[in-house]
Chain A
Amino acid sequence: MVDQSAMKLDPAIRDQVLATVPSLRAFAISLCGNIDRADDLVQETLLRALAHIDSFEPGTNMPAWLFTILRNLFRSEYRKRRREVEDADGRYAETLKSHPEQTGRVEFEEFRAALAKLPADQREALILVGASGFSYDDAAAICGCAVGTIKSRVNRARTRLADLLAIDSVDDFGPDRATRAVLAGGGRN
């Protein structure tokens, strides 16, 4: 799959590619819902990108370029499996084992479960903007849609998450009632 044409890669470009790999994996996991498949997808993305590195314009946004390639590959080659992700209902959550200390464990589990319930388009937009740190413009370019579409998906994702988390917070388990109260109270504005 790798084109063997001239590929004397500028080390600075190579380092930009390497530096993007961690966030590329995080995005891939959010798309695939499965860490092994995500790593396959990242590997394919890197092969594709390095084979076509001439089409990357130095000075432009390397993460956005790689994310676009990854997303296109996912859409074309992995699409048929997307139903699994839609139905996963927590499978995305299972792909990650550790829990950041700053967040209560139960609360964190709830959040992951809620995120897994979002439609794929909304989850993708939310992650690009809210976690990967892309601008709305970049996210729109990555997803091949209008900026307004991204904004609307992000808003719907946040609203839905807030609903899911507020509803969950009515359940009485959980170590952090003050936080829950704030979450629930804010959610009804």
Chain B
Amino acid sequence: MGERGKDDTMKHRKTNLEPLEPVAEKPENQESMARPAATPHKPEARLGREVQARIGQQLRALYNDVVNQGVPPHLADLVRRLSDQDQD
């Protein structure tokens, strides 16, 4: 895990949530499985890759929503002021 300085590098960063192979396309008839709530899977069951990918994607979308706001001016000022104070 090295430097993640730039916003844009962070935005497109692959994270550890998706160590598996790329998500395979699912055929349309998956719809027939859309009601599994009555048979909840065991907690230790391996999650489907589609679910993992979806969770990872939405998690990053939520997070990057804030990251993309950049540095608020008052915090940038604070850092610059504190960094310079010995030279003034």
Residues of A within 8 A of B (CB): 2, 6-9, 11, 14-23, 25-26, 29-30, 39, 42-43, 46-47, 50-51, 61-64, 96, 98, 100, 102-103, 107-108, 111-112, 115, 126-127, 129-138, 154, 156, 158-159, 161-163, 165-167, 169-170, 177-189
Contact = CB atoms under 8 A, between A and B. Distances in A.
B34 A189 contact: no
Contacts of A30: 63
B79 A18 contact: yes
Per DSSP, are chain A's interface residues mostly helix, strand or loop, or mixed? helix
Nearest to B43: A159
A43 B73 CA distance: 12
B67 A185 contact: no
Given A22-B7, A185-B33, A188-B33, A8 B54 contact: no
Given A23-B67, A165-B55, 5 more contacts: A25-B72, A50-B79, A102-B61, A185-B33, A188-B39
Interface size on B, as a range, is 35 or more
Q: Which 9 A-B pairs have the closest CB atoms?
A: A186-B48, A185-B33, A131-B63, A19-B5, A26-B66, A130-B17, A188-B36, A9-B83, A181-B31
Interface of B: 1-7, 10, 13-17, 26, 28, 30-37, 39-41, 43, 45-52, 54-72, 74-76, 78-80, 82-87
A56 to B, nearest CB: 13
Contacts, number: 219
- B17, B26, B36, B69, most chain A CB atoms within 10 A: B36
22 contacts: A14-B79, A14-B83, A19-B6, A19-B7, A21-B76, A26-B63, A43-B75, A103-B58, A107-B58, A111-B58, A133-B1, A135-B16, A158-B17, A159-B45, A163-B40, A170-B37, A177-B31, A179-B54, A181-B34, A184-B34, A188-B33, A189-B46
B28 A178 contact: yes
Contacts of A61: 1-2
Contacts of A189: 41, 45-48
A181 B51 CA distance: 11
